[in-house]
Structure 1
Amino acid sequence: MERYHYFRQFHDISLADYHLLIENLQHRSFKKGDSIIVPGQIQRDLYFVKSGVQMASFEGDKTYVIDFSYFPFLCAIAESFSFQVPSKYFLTCLTDSELEYISYEQLQGLLDQSQQIERLFRRMIEAMLAGMVDLHINLRAMTIEERYRVFCQRSPQLLHLVPHKYIASYLGIDPTNFSKLFNQVKF
């Protein structure tokens, strides 16, 4: 029921509609280091994280981290899944991961069948968009220490699960400066 309470933060979905959604979920396990999606691949399934940490990233002269996912969040390359187009990014498991998933076609059927499920996903996408805008602003308006503090308040568990070089990339902080912050700023 944890996921039900999580969903209700976005929309007051009924138990009947919640069960309609979760009855269509299937289970998949991934090992640390497994790729869920690679550039050029279309994400055909939307994942719901049960356990583990995943990372969306792209490669240039180094690894650029876009986002992390973990319970109870969704795990997806949003534009690839939503528009069924090839991904430009990697979606990789940073730890062993247990994910539940629903196919694009199944989800479209549920969205057509239930206004409550459709509204839930619309609200979740709106929240994701607002989060991306906040991150974009934070990367430009906050000092590196402020970014680090916000991250630690929002996702403190990731400090012990994710290699610090990836968190530094996500926050737009040089790994050496991140290491200094990690050792000096305590929570």
Structure 2
Amino acid sequence: MDYHDFLNKFHQISKRDYELIADSLTNCHAKRNELIVAEGDITRDLYFVYEGTQISCYNHDGTERVMSFHYPQSLMGLPDSFYNQQPTQYYIRALTDSSYGAISFRRLEELFDESQAIERLFRKMTEAKFCGLVTRHREFHTCTIEERVKNFVARSPHILHMVPHKYIASYLNIDATNFSKIYNSIRI
């Protein structure tokens, strides 16, 4: 899958730099409900999603809590474990049969040394993710449940048809029944 246009949304890279990244990817597959990264693992790879839908989660008192969604033309990983090369308290699970390209931490560090543009690209992608997390954090602390649902629908309407709504409710930290009532009452 060609990710060049996707990556260029964050920072323009040359075809040569794109090929360095693409040539470093190992093709991987996961079946529906298969763990891609398990709790306690060290996340050794960052993934480029080609097909399927996946979720990053953690367990809280025996309940699965969704932190993020992954789908084609997005990156998938657990940044704290990947960048620190330490065991994770989270996990990634395939919601559907999935295929993705994996790049190892070591190889990505080598690419950063080889190309300033690649290093800048990943810095800008990290900055964009961080800004999104700050927005989400603010919404959790300042918005009503209804406002959280409306903001999510406005920001990510495509996900509404990709994953069961119970996972979106978990992501928004809303009871699934309340999510359904609010979702059914708003116009999309």
- How high is the TM-score relative to the length of structure 1? 0.94
137-146 or 110-119, which moves further after superposition?
Answer: 137-146
Give 1:52's aligned residue.
52
**Count of residues in Structure 1 that have an aligned counterpart in Structure 2:** 187
Question: Does 2:166 correspond to 1:165?
Answer: yes
Alignment of 1:7-156 (within 5 A): 7-61=7-61, 62-156=63-157
Give 2:177's aligned residue.
176
Cα distance, 1:185 vs structure 2: 1.4
Please list every run of at least 4 consecutive aligned residues from structure 1 whose deviation after the TM superposition is greater than 4 angstroms.
none
Distance across 1 between alignment mates of 2:156 and 2:148: 12
Kept in 2, the 8 Å contact 1:95–1:161? The answer is no
Distance across 1 between alignment mates of 2:130 and 2:5: 21
Distance across 1 between alignment mates of 2:167 and 2:142: 21
Kept in 2, the 8 Å contact 1:47–1:74? The answer is yes
Instruction: Summarize deviations over 1:65-123 as a string: whole Å, max 9, x none.
Output: 11111121110011111111001101111111110111111111111111110110111
Structure 1, unpaired ranges of 5+? none
Give 1:4's aligned residue.
4
SS in 1 for 2:5: helix
- How high is the TM-score relative to the length of structure 2? 0.94
Q: Which amino acid aligns with 1:108?
A: E
SS in 2 for 1:36: strand
Distance across 2 between alignment mates of 1:165 and 1:10: 31
Cα distance, 1:2 vs structure 2: 5.4
Distance across 2 between alignment mates of 1:71 and 1:147: 24
Identity over aligned pairs, percent: 44
Distance across 2 between alignment mates of 1:93 and 1:186: 30
Q: Which amino acid aligns with 2:149?
A: Y
Supply the RMSD in Å over aligned alpha carbons. Answer: 1.4
Structure 2, unpaired ranges of 5+? none
Kept in 2, the 8 Å contact 1:30–1:93? The answer is yes
Distance across 2 between alignment mates of 1:158 and 1:78: 22
173-182 or 78-87, which moves further after superposition?
Answer: 173-182
